[in-house]
Amino acid sequence: MDDRDKSGIDGKNQDLERSREAPDGEFLTTNQGVRVADNQNSLKAGERGPTLMEDFILREKITHFDHERIPERVVHARGSGAHGYFQVYDSMADYTTAGFLQDPSTTTPVFVRFSTVAGSRGSLDTARDVRGFATKFYTQEGVFDLVGNNIPVFFIQDAIKFPDVIHAVKPEPRNEIPQAASAHDTFWDFVWLTPECMHMIMWVMSDRAIPRSYRMMEGFGVHSYRFINAKGKSHLVKFHWKPLLGVHSLVWDEAVKLGGQDADFHRRDLWEAIEAGAYPEWEFGVQLIPEEDQLKYAFDPLDPTKIIPEEVIPVRRIGKLTLNRNPDNFFAETEQVAFHVGNVVPGIDLSNDPLLQGRLFSYLDTQLIRLGGPNFHELPINRSVAPVHNNQRDGFMRHTVNTAPTSYQPNSLGGGCPFQAGTTNGGYHTFGERIDAQKIRERSDSFRDHFSQATLFWNSQSQVEQEHIVKALRFELGKVMTPHVRQHVVDLLTNVDLDLARRVAEGIGAEVSSNGRAAADAMKRLEADWDKFGVTSRPGKVRKQAVERSEALSMAHTIKDTARSRKVAILAANGVDGEQLETVKATLTEAEAVPVLVSPLPTVKTSSGKALQTDKLLMTAGSVNFDAVFVPGGKESAAALQADADALHFVSEAFKHCKALAASGEGTEVLLAANIAPPSTSGKTNGHRATNGHSTTSLASLGSVFVEPKAADLKALGKQFVRAIAQHRDFSREETKQAMRVPA
């Protein structure tokens, strides 16, 4: 048996073992294994003389360094990855022969890479962007790659437009500005000239494009693929990843600030969660359409700008993905991993989605240049755990030492090996779809409804989510300098939803007709200008969708039952009440949240004299780095924090970002000093009154703000606090404008 034929959860880990290097207890050597006596001085002609060409140690070291960089990915350059495993819940044999989906006792090793799309390799994590969600399954039948995104649709319907959309969103060609941002003229110019973008635009302008964590994003295969069962029956299948922590996002102000505070926010979050044993988990879901039912719906399942609403075909959850191990080496694994939508295994097949068809060419092609030749499948992170035998030979960086006397097939001199498997021995068999057609360079009419699902998405959002979309569009279009581009995007929005268009237009000085024919007027304006610029993919008839709203499209309905792995800042200074701090901390820890002591000082002395090590200095961490804030009492500590502008900003910003806050004892006064209060507070209540007239009683009336001024029942305080953290945010603060009132 081939030594790579390893199975189970640890199969890939064992496979990687033969490539690992560790220097423990070893001498420094050259790449040839020669021990290096002196790594500090080059070989010179005399103490003050020139360096000698002869110094092969110097030259080898510098030459290798000079060649360390490889091209970054042309898209999705910024990313981070992790190892894990996948297990199916029940056999899917009725639908697919794929071996890893047959038996719940089979564990399949995986490597997942998350990414942003537009930015360079060193760009910020929290940019407004689509996130890549690419999964490599190392199955016993070969590698299966599911190369998806955290948004279920795409900008364009045909691969021939991919270079255009990417050139438009990347920094502008004359000055390479802006980095990792779609808020610029060329992107929105492409959008108004490409009306098929509109559904995707709704998603990328929503908070889905600024996730709280990779661990709290959904994933989607986007295209329809095929499942093929043992009888050769085909179902179209859409793939989903559903995070067990729920789907949660940042707010825009927070995302912007995190870009400066911690450009590695998502990378760090993933790394730290796995190191702490809070393994990210997703359920694997499928939506299945029998081959013969493809044309029964108000959308074409081959059109990648459309979803299948979950109310129309529910997502069946068929298994679970767990990420439980960080890579050993970022470059070797996360950078060199090469995903390809053409990496499929028997039982999983492709569809005719014209975007998918183009991708089938693109990935292998780009990796030939990115990884420098045709042998990157041999790199440890990419190599299959199933045996690999074929007659492909040579090329740059070939690792395999092929020992066979022949490298062709059929052969007799090599005993006929390797043999074709045929379908009886598990050979890949393509679904025999009947195709009888004329060659045409055209778009199917069934792809021309560019608005109805954009409207469905808008209608399905909560009030707060809608407001965030409006603000995102105002921000993006506000950065567009060309008036006709701004106006035409609003014209497209007018055909999605009139209220949306009006609200955006108001903020950026664009027009929406008020004569009752706004959508038609907007379309007329667009048509006239589309004619000038040769736009052929015009919108067709809007098709009535089976549902007007879909709960699954709104994050308001997501899982909100756990504070697990949420980071909670405990803000304290010298003289903090250690008992209050420890009691609430214990409740947080019990809920598997992660308490972090934040202080202006490197060490905090409690009121009883105990020294606590600070986890994060206040000057290095804004509250944007945390999910919630607790301020324990202690007279001296509370006074110091009230006198510290950074501490007050920390608290008020957490409130502004709708996060849960708690305070006990004198800590309550820090909240009051940070001006946290309901809009109508007059100070005429019985609670403690701060100098600004607000009172602890008025604090207690705020949602997701919990105070125990007398520190009486800290356990109850902790429990309420944990429940609010699980809710992720209290957006009612935005609805009542409280969050806007607090000076940041």
Contacting residue, 43, 52, 74, 276, with ligand HEM by CB under 6 A: 74
Which member of 13, 31, 76, 515 is catalytic?
76
Q: Is 205 near ligand HEM (CB under 6 A)? A: no
Contacting residue, 91, 261, 324, 366, with ligand HEM by CB under 6 A: 366
Tokens read off for 687: 């609670």
Footprint of ligand HEM on residues 208-237 (CB under 6 A)?
222
Distance (Å, whole) CA 372 – CA 368? 6
Judge whether 149 counts as a catalytic residue: yes
User: Least distance (Å) from ligand HEM to the CB of residue 383?
Assistant: 16
Distance (Å, whole) CA 522 – CA 493? 9
Q: Residues 329-348: x/- map of binding to ligand HEM (CB under 6 A)?
A: --------xxx---------
Q: Residues 113-132: x/- map of binding to ligand HEM (CB under 6 A)?
A: x-x----------------x
Contacting residue, 11, 79, 285, 578, with ligand HEM by CB under 6 A: 79
Judge whether 329 counts as a catalytic residue: no
Number of shown-chain residues binding ligand HEM (CB under 6 A): 27
Based on CB atoms, which residue is closest to ligand HEM, 15 or 129?
129
Query: Which of 154-162, 383-391, 558-566, 663-671 is the region at the interface with ligand HEM (rule: CB under 6 A)?
Result: 154-162
Query: Which of 147-155, 277-285, 451-459, 637-645 is the region at the interface with ligand HEM (rule: CB under 6 A)?
Result: 147-155
Distance (Å, whole) CA 476 – CA 472? 6
User: Least distance (Å) from ligand HEM to the CB of residue 70?
Assistant: 10
HEC sequence for 645-663: HHHHHHHHHHHHCCCEEEE
Phi, psi of 99, deg, nearest 5: -60, -40
Contacting residue, 107, 367, 466, 698, with ligand HEM by CB under 6 A: 367
Q: Is 331 helix (H, G, I), strand (E, B) or coil?
A: helix
Q: Is 199 near ligand HEM (CB under 6 A)? A: no
Q: Is 194 near ligand HEM (CB under 6 A)? A: no
Distance (Å, whole) CA 269 – CA 39? 36
CB atoms within 10 A of CB 447: 21
Q: Are 12 and 83 in contact (CB under 8 A)?
A: yes
CB atoms within 10 A of CB 672: 26
Based on CB atoms, which residue is closest to ligand HEM, 130 or 638?
130
Q: Is 614 near ligand HEM (CB under 6 A)? A: no
Q: Where would I find the H helices in 495-617?
A: 498-508, 518-532, 578-590
Helices 185-192 and 162-169 cross at an angle (nearest 10°) of 140
Which member of 83, 149, 150, 468 is catalytic?
149
Based on CB atoms, which residue is closest to ligand HEM, 271 or 475?
271
HSE-CB at 693 with a 13 A cutoff on CA atoms is 7
Q: Is 6 near ligand HEM (CB under 6 A)? A: no
The DSSP code sequence of 179-204 is TT---SHHHHHHHHT-GGGHHHHHHH
SS3 of the chain: helix, strand, coil, percent, to 5:
35, 15, 50
Q: Is 159 near ligand HEM (CB under 6 A)? A: yes
User: Least distance (Å) from ligand HEM to the CB of residue 203?
Assistant: 12
Q: Is 370 near ligand HEM (CB under 6 A)? A: yes
- Sequence-ordered strand ranges (E) for 280-362: 281-290, 316-325, 348-349
Torsion sign (Cα): 577, 580, 584, 589: positive
Contacting residue, 76, 128, 525, 659, with ligand HEM by CB under 6 A: 76
Torsion sign (Cα): 295, 297, 302, 308: negative
Tokens read off for 334: 């996360």
User: Least distance (Å) from ligand HEM to the CB of residue 551?
Assistant: 23
Q: Are 584 and 662 in contact (CB under 8 A)?
A: yes
User: Least distance (Å) from ligand HEM to the CB of residue 123?
Assistant: 14
Query: Could you list the active site residues?
Result: 76, 149
User: Which residues sit at the interface with ligand HEM, rule CB under 6 A?
Assistant: 73-76, 79, 113, 115, 132, 134, 147-149, 154, 159, 162, 222, 337-339, 355, 358-359, 362-363, 366-367, 370
